[in-house]
Amino acid sequence: MDIKTAVTRRICGLMLGTLLAIAATAQQQGAADATPAAAHAPVRHARVCPGPASAGSARCHAHVVVDDSGQPLATSSPSGYTPSDLRSAYNITGTGTSSTIIAIVDAFGYPNAESDLAVYRAQFGLPPCTTANGCFKKVNQSGVQGNYPRTDTGWSQETALDLDMASAMCPGCSILLVEAKTNSFLNLALAVNMAASMGAHVISNSYGGGESGSSSYEPYYTYAGIAVTVSTGDSGYGVEFPASSPHVTAVGGTSLVRSSSTRGWSETAWSGAGSGCSSVYPKPSWQNDAGCSRRTLADVSAIADPNTGVAVYGPATRKSSAWLVFGGTSVGAPLIGGIYGVNGGQVSYGSDPYGHTSALFDVTAGSNGNCGGSYLCTAVTGYDGPTGLGTPNGATAF
């Protein structure tokens, strides 16, 4: 890159950061002046990857809002929370740099990944991220640009969500999409390993399956200096792998609404978020909750409730794309991944949030199941299972 190009990119990045900060500040002020929001009316939503996952495989965790016939509710303009909303809610002002790579790992092929992402980014004034300008790269699990896996619409919808959320939080970061051949743990693990070998600072994973038999794949989620984010699940209280790996950042879920608080937003635990005590993996040294002798999920959390969902541009059918609304902890893994990208600093597995709890919003209400009233399934002051240490208040904790 010549000096002129580098300077131009730097100026554009600073301008983008300023514009996004102004938009977020204005939006937050408007929210702070408003009366508390009423609960969102319940919406119909469906898993885009039906389950349960078969042994040795994973299921993606995205939920899409659907119409009365059960089909994705496709619209010509966006609905749901926008990048400015999300950045306001989580106090994100930075935009990241192109030298920071966020990898998205999903199963199967998504032929329109780049063109659908372009629509999302253009709609919300985010800079183009294309193969031509070096921001976007798509490879198969062998690292080859071409010979992509067969298309699966549900997994393509998951991938669209992941790409859009990473873009929303870190619009200046580069994006690497690695498509695993299938949704087997073996192929997904190989795709994660490829992402790590290609220089990713963050690897986002929005899928999971049973812990039994997963130990042979856990090393593929263990990388010193790389943030590996994983969604905790969408079936309520219960543990899934790879979120249960002690070397990843397990991301739980919340319901996010506007409020009259100083922050302008409030959150409760989402009833569908996964959480609990691993039956396989040891507790990492940075966790100190007393009710689980092994690895506890989650570490942190972010918006996940489809009733307070996010705007995404992606496949409405196998042949056409449109604006959709998504939820699930699949929102949180790339969203938190994007915030790791904004920070861009040194990463020590999933320990960083534990050293910066003051840079998190504690979530103290809501539950995701029955566990005798324990913190493992009930949001409480401080650490709890459904929401972990809380949600981002800026990028410092990441």
Summarize pLDDT for 346-358 with one digit per residue, the tens: 999 999 999 999 9
Q: Phi and psi dihedrals of 208, rounded to 5?
A: -175, 170
Q: Express as a percent the part of the chain with pLDDT over 70.
A: 90
Q: How confident is the model at residue 39 (pLDDT cuts 50, 70, 90)?
A: low
Q: What H or E segment, with its residue span, contains residue 227?
A: strand 227-231
The mean per-residue pLDDT over the stretch 129-133 comes to 98
- Render the burial of 356-381: b for 16+ CB within 10 Å, e for the rest: beebbbbbbebbbbebeebbbbbbbe
CB-based contacts of 398, cutoff 8 Å, min separation 6: 227, 336, 339, 340, 342, 343, 352, 353, 392
- Measured between alpha carbons, how far is 182 from 334 in angstroms, rounded to an integer? 20
Q: 32 or 345: whose pLDDT is higher?
A: 345
- Which segments of 57-152 does DSSP mark as H helices, in order? 83-89, 113-123
Distance of CA 184 to the CA centre of its chain: 20
Radius of gyration of the chain (CA): 19
Whether 166 shows a pLDDT value over 90: the answer reads yes
What per-residue confidence (pLDDT) applies to 51?
A: 87
Token code pair at residue 367: 């539950």
Amino acid (1-letter code) at residue 142: S
Report the candidate in 365, 357, 363 with the shortest Cα–Cα distance to residue 394: 357
The mean per-residue pLDDT over the stretch 120-147 comes to 98
- Measured between alpha carbons, how far is 384 from 214 in angstroms, rounded to an integer? 24
Distance of CA 324 to the CA centre of its chain: 16
- Residue pLDDT, tens place only, 46-67: 999 998 899 999 999 999 999 9
The mean per-residue pLDDT over the stretch 225-243 comes to 98
What per-residue confidence (pLDDT) applies to 25?
A: 42
- Render the burial of 38-50: b for 16+ CB within 10 Å, e for the rest: eeeeebebebbbe
Q: What H or E segment, with its residue span, contains residue 26?
A: helix 3-32
Amino acid (1-letter code) at residue 236: G
Q: What H or E segment, with its residue span, contains residue 194?
A: helix 185-197
Q: What H or E segment, with its residue span, contains residue 311?
A: strand 310-315
Whether 208 shows a pLDDT value over 60: the answer reads yes
Q: Express as a percent the part of the chain with pLDDT over 90.
A: 89
Q: Where are the domains of the chain?
A: 3-392
Which residue's entry shows tokens 């800026």?
394
Predicted TM-score (pTM) of this structure: 0.91
SS3 label, residue 289: coil
Q: How many CB atoms lie within 10 A of CB 26?
A: 12
The string of DSSP codes covering 280-297 is EEEPPTT---TT-SEEEE
What per-residue confidence (pLDDT) applies to 21?
A: 44
Whether 3 shows a pLDDT value over 80: the answer reads no
The mean per-residue pLDDT over the stretch 314-338 comes to 98
Q: How confident is the model at residue 32 (pLDDT cuts 50, 70, 90)?
A: very low
Q: How confident is the model at residue 37 (pLDDT cuts 50, 70, 90)?
A: very low
- Residue 375: CA atoms inside 13 Å, Cβ hemisphere, count? 17
Q: Are 161 and 326 in contact (CB under 8 A)?
A: yes
Report the candidate in 172, 150, 165, 180 with the shortest Cα–Cα distance to residue 313: 165
- Render the burial of 135-158: b for 16+ CB within 10 Å, e for the rest: bbbbbbbeeeeeebbeebbbbbbb
The mean per-residue pLDDT over the stretch 196-209 comes to 98
Q: Phi and psi dihedrals of 162, rounded to 5?
A: -65, -45
Structurally, what CATH architecture does the domain formed by 3-392 represent?
3-Layer(aba) Sandwich (3.40)
Token code pair at residue 205: 């994973």
- Measured between alpha carbons, how far is 218 from 7 in angstroms, rounded to an integer? 42
Q: Are 247 and 350 in contact (CB under 8 A)?
A: yes
What per-residue confidence (pLDDT) applies to 1?
A: 44
What per-residue confidence (pLDDT) applies to 41?
A: 73
What per-residue confidence (pLDDT) applies to 12?
A: 42
Q: How many CB atoms lie within 10 A of CB 260?
A: 14
The mean per-residue pLDDT over the stretch 225-248 comes to 98
Least confident interval from 18-22, 306-310, 339-343, 345-349: 18-22
Amino acid (1-letter code) at residue 220: Y
What per-residue confidence (pLDDT) applies to 35?
A: 33
